[in-house]
Homo-oligomer: A and B are copies of this chain.
């Protein structure tokens, strides 16, 4: 059995989304068991209509507090010691769960996860990573998406290592390609940090193809795109905004007049297939990589389908032993003495310049 801890109280909708999503996934995946963390009375009530075989797949673990969506990191860390988020993360730490899924606020989840699980050996800073759709059907793992505002070249190298490991474990790729996000693909482009990171990546033994630009996230040119958290977060949110604008404009236009409404009827199959292929709900479930445990962050506003995708992500990562994969990629890199050495050199150079 694969035990997955769920912060059932997190997110904008809490139990009304997390429990139905878990029930749905439990029915589809017989090898999974859920540790449902939160107010035990409310969880019991939410599960009450389920048949016995589903109930057997759930273990309810009580937590008396909830991290609110607007709680500061400080509050989440110091004052919510019995929060559903923290108790769920503790289950991963204690080895009772192989992964934890939460739709709670990102800053709090990252801080509490870091506090409870600690970072992996060889990783300075955890990063947030999500897979975005490619033209030919694959996924591009992009990181960091907002955990780290200022990054050094070494941080970017570590992000690449974690992205590659995720791509191997979750997407099943053998030798994932890595691109470093820049404002152009020529070698002379970009600031010092990006240039130094490119140097580190070239020497790393990773399958580094060089600089990529924003549009390459969607072309499938590479499997992993690395950038700092400010850029990654801005890019992700801007793309979400653009997609919402297109969707709402399309909807408006299909409602304009009887001919368009008829066209909409005819197009239902097309639109539903389009949604299936590109729906951002199916890309829900960002990984917090670099921790001693698998942590998946769902969108706060996730609906049942969307939250179930986040659960799927956690299950995939757990069943394919993603942490071992990160460890083995890290190991390959760190045994390459020249890289470690040059890595230090480049970093020192950078510090001197600043």
Question: How far apart sit A14 and B267, CA to CA, in the bound complex (Å)?
Answer: 39
Chain B residues with Cβ below 8 Å from A214 are 233-241
Chain B residues with Cβ below 8 Å from A213 are 233-234, 237
Check B235–A238 contact: CB distance below 8 A.
yes
Check A235–B235 contact: CB distance below 8 A.
yes
B-contacting 9-mer, from A85-93, A95-103, A252-260: A252-260
Chain B residues with Cβ below 8 Å from A262 are 266
B-contacting 9-mer, from A26-34, A76-84, A224-232: A224-232
Check A217–B238 contact: CB distance below 8 A.
yes
Check A249–B237 contact: CB distance below 8 A.
no
For A234, A238, A270, A274, the residue with the greatest tally of chain B CB atoms inside 10 Å of its CB is: A238
A51: interface (CB < 8 Å): no
A250: interface (CB < 8 Å): yes
Check B266–A237 contact: CB distance below 8 A.
no
Check B231–A218 contact: CB distance below 8 A.
no
Chain B residues with Cβ below 8 Å from A244 are 215, 218
Q: Considering the complex, give the chain B residue whose CB is closest to the CB of A270.
A: B253
Check A215–B191 contact: CB distance below 8 A.
no
A38: interface (CB < 8 Å): no
Q: Considering the complex, give the chain B residue whose CB is closest to the CB of A240.
A: B215
Partner of A270, one of B219, B243, B263: B263
A1: interface (CB < 8 Å): no
Chain B residues with Cβ below 8 Å from A219 are 241
Chain B residues with Cβ below 8 Å from A235 are 214, 234-235, 238
Partner of A248, one of B135, B149, B267, B269: B135
A278: interface (CB < 8 Å): yes
> How far apart are A193's CB and chain B's nearest CB, in angstroms?
10
List the interface of chain A (C-beta within 8 A of B): 133-135, 146, 149-150, 181, 183, 190-191, 213-219, 227, 229-231, 233-246, 248-250, 253-254, 256, 259-260, 262-264, 266-267, 269-270, 273-274, 277-278, 354
Closest A-B pairs by Cβ, 9 of them: A214-B237, A215-B241, A214-B238, A263-B266, A218-B241, A263-B267, A183-B233, A218-B245, A235-B238
Q: List 11 A-B contacts (CB under 8 A).
A: A181-B234, A183-B233, A214-B235, A217-B241, A218-B241, A218-B242, A239-B242, A242-B243, A249-B277, A253-B274, A263-B270
